[in-house]
Structure 1
Amino acid sequence: MKKKWTATLASFTLLTGLLAACSGAGNGGTAAPESAGASAGPGQTEKTTVQFWHSLGGKNGEYFDALIQRFNASHDDIEVVGTYQGSYDETVTKLQQAIPAGTAPDVSMLERAYVQMFADSEVLEDLTPYLESSGMSQDDFVPGLMGHSVFNDQLVSLPLNRSTPILYVNKTMLDEAGLKVPTTWEELKEVANALVVKENGEIKRYGVTMPYDTWYPLAMITQAGGTFFNEDKTSIGFGDNGVGVKVFSFLKDLQSTGALYYPPSQDSGNITNQMFVDGKVGLLYQSTGSMGGLDASVKFDYVAAFLPKDQQYANPTGGANVAMLSSSKNKEAAWEFIRWVMQDEEGGQQFILDSGYLPFTNKMVESQAIQDLWAAEPNRKVAFEQLQYAVDTNLDTGWPEIMKEFFSAMEAILYDSKDIPSTLEEFRKEAERILAE
């Protein structure tokens, strides 16, 4: 699928480029509209309009709208128009349609696992010269968040609203039971089982839960010494070595005793969060991005901790990066917006303080505002410190399609109790088929 999509996108891009050449249009296949730069009245500076697509709704969407307003208020010659395009997947779908049609935005938010797919299709601008012209370098960014930024020797995206999974612990519940925060799988198993409460054969309290997501099995695969893909990206890296069987057997053992509550796929994040808030579970695997909401909701003492390790600590990163489309006709203005978000205290730093996402530049990390935040809310610092164990082993343009197959395997095992080795073997075959296309 990766090559089919790439070829299709390339052919559409070529076609619109040829049409543009015939009609005298510029980059992207569509002539710049007369209104691309807002008309200036007497005494006013003409503004360049930068279209920015994003996937932030709810409270985080409000925080990012405020960021855009601050940028516009501080720039007389540029106006950024932010447009919510739905979920990460919906934004990707709309970009796939807009790029060949010549209607893509100047700048877009891209969920980090999709960046490679667009980079492989050569539709993202190399940001290296822009970074250098602004006196910046890749060394200015937190290393654990740069795993989805450089492809084909080009810097095609920069971290923005980034997160990792983390373990939330009802410390009050553990203290009452005389238990310690688990740091290993074995400790996790002991604590989760000890927290289970049953009445008349019905489970009233579970030990641990996690949303329906590939994130957590991905973390556990690496913790157990495996990788999602093998080194040459021809197959998975957790099959023949027994890592996959170990991971899912561990989860099924927890599930069989009532120690693990695995939620339905729909609205799983809200379900698991509410169970934690209501004291119906003591341990929660969840995104660092949930910290602000939990802070406002829990009525007990809770702490954030590293994901428990097996052979090693490891956790995948998540969230989105920001990228400039190579078809943009307003690249200078688009870069000024990206640069401001990266460097200005009123840009990305304020958004991080507001939202709870991870600081993504070293300057932010060292800022007094972030240091004061961590002193007041030490859980936020734990989330950042866990980045030293960040891993991204699902890097491949075939990941989006393979992810769907992995979800199917997870459902078969965790919902339908299908045989683990044979289910993972079927998944391996599907993954190899997709990777070979």
Structure 2
Amino acid sequence: MKKTIFWIVSLFVLTLMVGCNQSSNQTSSETQAGSSGQASAESDEKIDITYWYAWGDKIQENNENLVKMFNESQDRIHVTAEYQGSYDDLHAKTQAAFAAGNAPEVTQNEIASVGIFANSGMTENLTPFIEKDDVDINDFVPGLMGNSYVNDQLYALPYLRSTPILYLNKTLLEDAGLDPAGPKNWDEFKEYASALTVEGERVGMTMPVNIWFYEAFIAQSGGQMLADDGTEAAFNSPSGVAPVEFWKELANEGIIKIPTGDEAGATAKQDFANGRSAMTFSSTADLSYWLAMGEEQGFELTTSFMPANSTYGVPTGGCNLVMTSGLDPKKQEAAWELIKWMTSMEQTVYASTYTGYLPSRMSAVNSDEMQALYEEHPQFKVAVDQLEYARPRPMEDAYPEIEKIVGDEITRAIIHDEVMPEEALDAAAEKANDLLK
């Protein structure tokens, strides 16, 4: 709650600041973009900019490697890459830095937050830069572009993008006599979870209450989180109630485990790694990690679509790259050069191969390198194929708070037998509608 209050208060203060300084800061992006090349040419001094990113391990290595490669590829711009923790940490630090006047020139926005940052005046409209350099927007995978536009203007480019997929311990599936291709629908998912459960030893799946997974299950049921115009909640419909009823049923039967609290995600990860669960939902970004973990722990890993209900469906996830607003022309040019380079075909191939994140460009998907990877490790291709059923995340300013409300109410319905899912989601919808007003 403290984090949410900080978010709301920060946005209010920043909106006032942007309004007060609008006349001084709104030199047209077209003029700035057009003059940036000349400004750079007139000076041989190296331009220093900072890039902030989220997440550690293979993702951190990927970011640091790419920035090092960028710095070595030219001698006009030097980028300092700085790790900032989770997306929540990154967003909070970026807000505070922007208010203090020392924000990084380039940063990541988790895709549901692109609208919040753009509408608050913290990020730059990239449309003039795209047009100036004639960047082929059509080369970006269409299913990943939904969280790039705000008010019909392009504020962000897809970078490390993902969908949730189903990870399976193929070794345990085969021991249980199950098809390692995985369950195709919710009914089969329940059958798999039951067959894989060994009392006192293992459950079919350990799954935290995760809003991203819930968005997927709603999509699979033909529903959506918010109304099309973003003015009211839609998750308390039958399509939104069905996933919670399903989860509660499986938990009550003891064939899935739903941990709660701050360590719920870590618990799910540990259980899958140690064979205490045979399946897990996780981001495609975790694929390189799980392939290595499977080899280390002595099991074979496979992946599949998240199972369907009335249809397949998943939200996209991950982050887009954005430029902070109010930069001078030289800094703008440098920031744009980094964003353009990091989202190019070659770097997209590198990042996808290194981490498991989706390749965000069609040219990368179709490249010889990615096709060779899919041939050798078909687990990487699952998320790409699943994009056919992908959808963007809501970008309403209130959505970060709504996520927390929905998660809390789902948890309440799961852990308390007397709380019905419909009742819990109605309570969440009432609070969400107040925020959306």
TM-score w.r.t. the length of structure 2 is 0.88
Tell me by how many angstroms 1:238 deviates. Answer: 2.9
Does the 8 Å CA contact 1:50/1:106 hold for their aligned counterparts?
Answer: yes
Question: What letter is aligned with 1:366?
Answer: N
Alignment of 1:171-186 (within 5 A): 171-180=170-179, 181-186=182-187
Q: Which residue of 2 aligns with 1:216?
A: 213
Identity, % of aligned positions: 36
**What SS is found at the alignment partner of 2:201?**
strand
Q: Quote the residue 2:289 is aligned against.
A: 293
1:300-315 maps to which residues of 2 (within 5 A)?
300-315=299-314
CA change 1:211–1:289 in 2 (3 A) is farther
2:223 corresponds to 1:226: yes
Native 8 Å contact 2:211 2:406 kept in 1: yes
Q: Which position in structure 1 is the counterpart of 2:245?
A: 249
Partner residue in 2 for 1:196? 197
Whole-Å separation in 1 of the counterparts to 2:52 and 2:275? 38
Code of the residue aligned with 1:410 in structure 2: it is I
Superposed CA offset, 1:90-146 (max 9, x none): 111122222233222211111111111011123322212212222313211011111
Q: Give a deviation string over 1:146-194, Cα, whole Å, max 9, x none.
A: 1110011110001111111101122222222222321000111112112
Q: Are 1:277 and 2:282 matched, yes or no?
A: no
- Aligned-residue offset at 1:300: 2.1
Change (3 A) 1:344 1:238: closer
Q: 4+ residue stretches of structure 1 with deviation over 6 A?
A: 1-4
Q: In the alignment, which residue of structure 2 is the partner of 1:13?
A: 18
CA distance in 2, matches of 1:146, 1:333: 23
Question: How is 1:366-377 mapped onto 2 (pairs within 5 angstroms)?
Answer: 366-377=366-377
Mapped contact 1:211–1:286 kept (Cα < 8 A): no
State the match for 2:318 in structure 1: 319
- Secondary structure (helix, strand or coil) at the match of 1:204 reads coil
Any idea what SS the aligned residue of 2:50 has? strand
Residues of 1 paired with 2:75 and 2:162: CA distance? 33
- Map of 1:282-431 to 2, 5 A cutoff? 282-298=278-294, 299-329=298-328, 330-343=331-344, 345=346, 347-417=347-417, 418-431=419-432
**Letter in structure 1 aligned against 2:387:** L
**Counterparts of 1:100 and 1:57 in 2: how far apart (Å)?**
26
List per-residue Cα deviations over 1:369-428 (Å, max 9, x = no partner).
Answer: 111111111000112111111112533121011111112112212233433222111111
In 2, Cα distance between equivalents of 1:127 and 1:344: 18
Q: Is the 8 A contact 1:45 1:76 kept in 2?
A: no
- What RMSD in Å do the two structures reach over aligned CA positions? 2.2
3-state DSSP of counterpart to 2:350: helix
What is the DSSP-based 3-state SS (H/G/I as helix, E as strand, rest coil) of the residue aligned with 2:343?
helix
For residue 237 of structure 1, give the secondary structure of its aligned residue in structure 2: coil
Tell me the SS of whatever aligns to 1:197.
Answer: coil
Render the CA deviation track for 1:251-295: whole Å, top value 9, x for unaligned. 111001111111233333332222223222222111111111111
Unaligned runs of 5+ in 2: 28-42
* Residue aligning to 2:84: 85
Output the CA distance in 2 between the equivalents of 1:349 and 1:92: 26
Q: The residue matched to 2:161 in structure 1 has which SS?
A: strand
> Secondary structure of the residue that 1:300 maps to in structure 2?
coil
Distance, in Å, in 1 between the alignment partners of 2:208 and 2:162 is 15
Report the Cα distance in structure 1 between the residues aligned to 2:372 and 2:87, rounded to whole angstroms.
32
CA deviations 1:70-102 (Å, max 9, x no partner) are: 111111111111122222111111222222332
Give distance in 2, aligned partners of 1:86 and 1:166.
Answer: 23
Instruction: Measure, in 2, the Cα distance between the counterparts of 1:385 and 1:394.
Output: 22
Q: TM-score, normalised by structure 1?
A: 0.88
Structure 2 CA distance for aligned equivalents of residues 344 and 77 of structure 1: 22
Q: 1:243 and 1:163 mapped to 2: Cα distance?
A: 23
Number of residue pairs the alignment of both structures matches = 409
Aligned mates of 2:18, 2:233 — CA distance in 1: 32
> Does the 8 A contact of 1:229 with 1:393 survive in 2?
no
User: Which secondary structure does the structure 1 equivalent of 2:281 belong to?
Assistant: strand
Cα distance in 1, alignment partners of residues 186 and 98 from structure 2: 45
| Structure 2 CA distance for aligned equivalents of residues 17 and 391 of structure 1 | 34
For the structure 1 residues 394 and 343, does the alpha-carbon distance in structure 2 shift closer, same or farther, using more than 3 Å as the test?
Answer: closer
In the alignment, structure 1 segments of 5+ residues that lack a partner are 28-43
- Greater mean alpha carbon deviation, residues 130-139 or residues 308-317: 130-139
